Every structure is written in C-alpha cells, then in structure tokens.
C-alpha cells in the first residue's frame, strides 16, 4: 500500500494540484493562500514544494499531503481520494486491498441508491402505476429528455415493493435502513419511505446519488408535500444543492449561480437553457452550501418563492454570504409565485428578469418602503431600523458608504444620523458577545510557543540548518522547550547531526515516530505564515525564548515541596542571576 501511495504522490505535484483549485502565491521557499476550508482574509494556508505538504495555521489547524487535501476538499474517505488520484496519476490499484470500512459502507449505500433510482425510473416509464405520474410531469410541460436527464421516477403506492426489490439484489434490511429508503415503525416492522410520490434523485457534485426527495401530486392530500432522505453517511442536507452536478461547469462559465428553492424550480429553467441553477433544499442558504459555491463563483442570484417565506429565506442567508464576500442579487417575479411557474408562463420574461436582478440591499430597501410610510417620522424610523441591521453587516466600506448615502437620501435625513444608528447596532452586538474577563497569561503563553515554533521552523527551512541550529542552541537549549514534542524533535535532530555531515530532510523525517511527523510538518511550514515575530531579530527572539524558560524554572522551583529548602533557594538565586543577564541582553538588542 505504501509504495502505491508514494507512487501517486510522486506523480501528482501538490503545488500544481492545489493551484488548480485555489490560487497559490510563492513566498520564499513555500507557497501561500487564504485557506479554502474556512473564511479568512490573511493567508494562513501554506504549501511546501520541497516536502509536498500543506498546513492551515488558521482556524482549521490541519494539514497533510495531496490525499488529505482531496479528502478535505471533497469530504470523502481516504480510499475514495486514493482512487481518484490514482486515476489522475495513471497508477493501477488492482492489487491494493482497502481496509476502509467507511468507504465500503458508502460504496454499498451508493449501489443501493443507484438501484433504487433505476427502480423508480422503471416504474415511471414502463408500468401502468407510473402512467399518472408521467402524465403529471407532461402537464407541467417537462419533456421526456429532461425527465430522463434528472432521472425522475415514481414510487408506487406500496408498503414494501422497493424493500423486496433491494433484498432480491442481496442487500440486507439494516443496509437499506441505513440508506434511509425504508422506515422502522414503532412496532418494529419496516416499510418503504417513499410511497405514491414523484421521486427526484439528489446527487452530489460528482453525480453520485446520495439521497432522494419525494413529492405528492395531489395538492389536496393531508400529508407533507415533500419528504426527503434523512441524514445518512452520504446525505447531509446542509451541504446539499439539488442539481449542482449539472450546474457546476455552467456556474464557472457564467461566474454566477442562480439559487432557487425546489426541484421543479431547477428543472423547468434548465429545460429552457438556464444551466447555472441549483436548489437549496431548505428554508435558507447555509454556510456549508456557500463555502462549496465559493470554489466556483463570487456571485449569487437568489430567486426564491415570491411570498413572505421566500423573502425571509433570502434575508436569513445574507449574513453568511456577506461574511464570505459574495455579491448577492435578487430576482423576483411579479407575475408568478415561483421560478417554475414564471419560466413556464413566459420564458422570455423570465430570462429578462434574471438580467435585471437587483443587489440584495436594494431589494431590502424596496421591501421596507412597501411596508412602511415614508411620509411620517415613525415610518422613516421603521425603514431605517429594518435596513440598517443589514447595512451594518456589509464588510466593504465603499459598498456600505453607498447604502448609507442611499437610505439617507430616500428618508430625507442626514448621513450622520444613519451612521449613528449603525454604530449603535455594532455597540449592542459587541456588548452581547464581549467576555467579562481575560486571562493575562494567555497571550504570554501563546507568544512563548509561537517563538519556539518559529525558531524551529527557521532552522529546518535554512540553507544551512546545522549552522542556524548552532547559533540558536548556543543560548536556548533543548531543555528550554516547553512543549515535549518540540524537545523530542530537537533531540532527534541533534542526534542525526552527530551522525550525518549534511541534513537530508526526508531521511531525518524517517527517524521521527509517526505521532511526531504531523507536528514536524506544522513546524516546518510555520515560518511562512504571517506572524508578528517574523519582523523581529532572531537573536532577540532567542533570548526572549530563554527568558520564558528561566521564568518557568523559577516558578516551578518556587512551588515545589522538597526537603532541601536551602538547595532550592540557591538554584533560584542562580537562575535569577541568569535571568537578569538575559533581560539586560534583550534591552541592548
């Protein structure tokens, strides 16, 4: 297995691979970028060309190789990532056995979902039970080509037809239950989840069927209009966008995604040639969905239902979208209740509406103006309060200034009065989230570790690591490290130095225990991050690190309970003298 993994890693250059997903910028020996796995403005994501590793020094605090990057990017298992990279590298995995139980379970679940989709499709197209559903789809003006494109199907009004079908295909009841396709009753019996419903397969961006959505056709029925696959190993509602597998290339091309609410809101416009479209499958856009979309575009057009619930859904998603620096526009249809009805009524008018989508904040101002009178002070107050809570969230100062001017002009008030309102909102928010106290020692403890990490990092990234180590360890010794893992790495490094004239990094890494290697990777890349100590003199940092160590030793001796009290006092006296010398040296640097 190791030889296959090594072969894949040799053939897939990490810099080129990551650069195909996010732009990397060369800084010294390494490359940097803002982390693709969390929101940030200062780049904390560092990649090493020499070592073929990456590490996030921000909120993630995670790192690894090309396999780990793909696992995290696509939220897939080791086996899935290895298979994909092997295909890219042209490496055969025929003789490799995987002991990845999660992947094996996912693979079985994907097979169950594929069979279920085939079953529902067959019922829709080839049986009398599906005739009514097919007629319903045709009535909604969908052609056979688009019905097959989205793999629409029909679940018969039966308690166990799918269950029996899947059991015949050698899948156990527990496996089918885990997939979410059957339900266990309170009495312990199981039955098909989807019955008498149109079925929409839900796919991930790669086209894998991860779940299903079922819709009733009788509007007068007293049951839920839609039911979905529950949360499973494959299906996570917050991460899912219906139609994204068909939309992603068009989203890149158009540099925009049209987000709608339901399945028909995707399918009907798609039939009219609008391919950069997906459904949020919920009442609001989630952070997980936005983080995924950020890979393809910075522009979102929301076209949710034209009712109060649709308006609220648009409002709920804006804070996350603003935090991720999306440009959000709103399209509304005054002649239809939702995008599906709008495009079927008038495709030309629908496409024109998309081109005239308004920025989200203009949309909020329009809504508030419709609800409140602009002719009296209380109406103006209400408009200002409703709009300001959104303007306050705008990150870009130019955009924020634009809307402060706009709302002030509309209300006929000064810009400063709107600014005061926004400042008050910010103050209330800060008061809500401020902590009553803060430990004084926390920053100091953090700085001590930062300095230690930085000193180790510059040793290993130096052109002459042995020389640099000699300069640092002449003052700051291995025993001065406060982190045991750093001590172990240093001891192994010095031991390696005694036996080898030159440092060969990969050979040295082989001497590290597996649990130390990830720590070493982090240390190695640390000097490439944006840290305050980077602009300080190395010699001064060495003495500062020594000062932290000496203070720690004095504290430990002072709190120790030993029989040799005089010996302890003598030790404290000696260390204190050394501390005074070190502090004087720091002043001169």
Please provide the DSSP assignment of 68-104 as one string. HHHHHHHT--HHHHHHHHHHHHT---TT-----HHHH
Three-class secondary structure assignment of 339-372: HHHHHHHCHHHHHHHHHCCEEHHHHHHHHHHHHC
Q: What is the pLDDT of residue 221?
A: 75
Q: What is the CB neighbour count within 10 angstroms for residue 339?
A: 29
Query: How do the domains of the chain map onto residue ranges?
Result: 2-89, 103-235, 362-433, 441-588
Q: What pLDDT digit, counting tens, does each position of 422-461 carry?
A: 988 888 776 654 444 333 345 555 889 999 999 999 999 9
CB atoms within 10 A of CB 279: 26
- For residue 431, CA distances in Å to 90, 152, 426, 428, 435 come to 57, 51, 9, 5, 9
pLDDT band at 307 (very low <50, low <70, confident <90, very high): low
CATH (residue range 441-588) = 1.10.860
Q: Please, are residues 232 and 109 in contact by the beta-carbon 8 Å criterion?
A: yes
Give me the residue label for tokens 């306050």. 392
CA 285/CA 314 separation, integer angstroms: 8
* pLDDT tens for each residue of 5-59: 888 999 999 999 999 888 899 988 899 998 988 877 788 999 999 899 999 998 8
Span 89-133, pLDDT tens digits: 988 876 556 566 777 888 899 999 999 999 999 999 999 999 999
Whether the full predicted model's pTM is greater than 0.85, yes or no, is no
- In this model, does residue 1 exceed pLDDT 60? no
Torsion of CA 22, 23, 27, 33, to 10 degrees: -40
Closest CA to 106 of 239, 235, 299, 276: 235
Residue 79: is its pLDDT beyond 90? no
- pLDDT at residue 391, as a whole number: 92
Given a cut of 80, is residue 562 above it in pLDDT? no
Q: How large is the angle between the packed helices 377-391 and 397-411, nearest 10 degrees?
A: 170
Which tokens belong to 144? 């056979």
Class (C level, CATH) for 362-433: mainly alpha
Q: How far apart are CA 171 and CA 232, in angstroms?
A: 17
| pLDDT score recorded for residue 128 | 94
- To which CATH superfamily is domain 2-89 assigned? Zinc finger, CHC2-typedomain (3.90.580.10)
For the domain made up of 103-235, give the CATH fold.
Answer: DNA primase DNAg catalytic core, N-terminal domain (3.90.980)
């Amino acid at each position: 297995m190791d030889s296959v993994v090594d072969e894949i890693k040799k053939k897939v250059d990490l810099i080129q691979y990551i650069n195909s997903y996010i732009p990397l910028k060369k800084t010294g020996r390494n490359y940097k970028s803002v982390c693709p796995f969390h929101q940030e403005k200062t780049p904390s994501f560092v990649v090493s060309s020499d070592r073929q590793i990456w590490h996030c020094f921000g909120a993630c605090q995670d790192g690894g190789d090309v396999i780990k990057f793909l696992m995290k990017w696509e939220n897939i298992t080791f086996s899935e990532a290895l298979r994909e990279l092997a295909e890219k590298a042209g490496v055969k995995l025929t003789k490799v056995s995987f002991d990845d139980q999660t992947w094996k379970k996912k693979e079985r679940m994907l097979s169950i979902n594929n069979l279920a989709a085939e079953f529902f499709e067959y019922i829709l197209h080839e049986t009398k039970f599906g005739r009514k559903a097919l007629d319903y789809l045709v009535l909604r003006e969908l052609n056979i080509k688009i019905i097959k494109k989205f793999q629409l199907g029909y679940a018969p009004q039966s308690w166990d037809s799918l269950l029996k079908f899947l059991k015949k295909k050698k899948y156990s009841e527990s496996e089918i239950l885990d997939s979410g396709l059957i339900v266990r009753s309170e009495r312990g019996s199981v039955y098909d989840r989807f019955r008498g419903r149109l079925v929409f397969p839900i796919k991930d961006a790669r086209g894998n069927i991860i779940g299903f959505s079922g819709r009733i056709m009788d509007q007068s029925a007293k049951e839920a209009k839609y039911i979905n696959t529950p949360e499973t190993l494959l299906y996570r509602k917050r991460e899912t966008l219906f139609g994204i597998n068909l939309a992603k290339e068009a989203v890149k091309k158009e540099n925009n995604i049209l987000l709608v609410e339901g399945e028909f809101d995707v399918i009907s416009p798609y039939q009219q040639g609008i391919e950069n479209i997906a459904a949020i499958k919920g009442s609001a856009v989630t952070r997980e969905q936005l983080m995924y979309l950020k890979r393809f575009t910075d522009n979102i057009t929301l076209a949710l239902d034209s009712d109060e619930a649709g308006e609220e859904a648009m409002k709920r998603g804006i804070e996350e979208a603003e935090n991720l620096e999306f440009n959000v526009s709103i399209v509304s249809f005054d002649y239809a209740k939702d995008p599906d009805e709008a495009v079927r009524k008038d495709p030309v008018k629908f496409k024109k509406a998309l081109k005239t989508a308004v920025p989200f904040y203009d949309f909020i101002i329009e809504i508030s103006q419709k609800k409140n009178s602009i002719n009296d002070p209380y109406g103006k107050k209400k408009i200002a309060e409703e709009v300001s809570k959104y303007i306050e969230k705008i990150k870009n100062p130019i955009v924020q200034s634009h809307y402060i001017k706009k709302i002030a002009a509309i209300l006929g008030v000064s810009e400063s009065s709107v600014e005061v309102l926004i400042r008050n909102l910010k103050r209330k928010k800060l008061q809500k989230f401020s902590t009553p106290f803060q430990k004084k020692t926390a920053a100091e403890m953090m700085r001590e570790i930062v300095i230690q990490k930085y000193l180790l990092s510059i040793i290993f990234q130096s052109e002459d690591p042995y020389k640099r180590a000699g300069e640092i360890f002449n003052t700051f010794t291995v025993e001065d490290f406060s982190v045991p893992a750093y001590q172990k790495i240093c001891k192994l490094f010095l031991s390696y130095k005694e036996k080898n004239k030159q440092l060969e990094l990969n050979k040295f890494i082989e001497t590290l225990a597996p649990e130390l290697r990830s720590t070493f990777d982090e240390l190695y890349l640390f000097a490439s991050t944006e840290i305050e100590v980077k602009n300080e003199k190395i010699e001064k940092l060495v003495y500062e690190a020594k000062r932290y160590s000496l203070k720690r030793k004095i504290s430990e001796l002072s709190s120790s309970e030993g029989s040799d009290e005089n010996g302890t006092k003598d030790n404290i006296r000696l260390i204190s003298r050394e501390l005074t010398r070190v502090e004087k040296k720091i002043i001169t640097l």
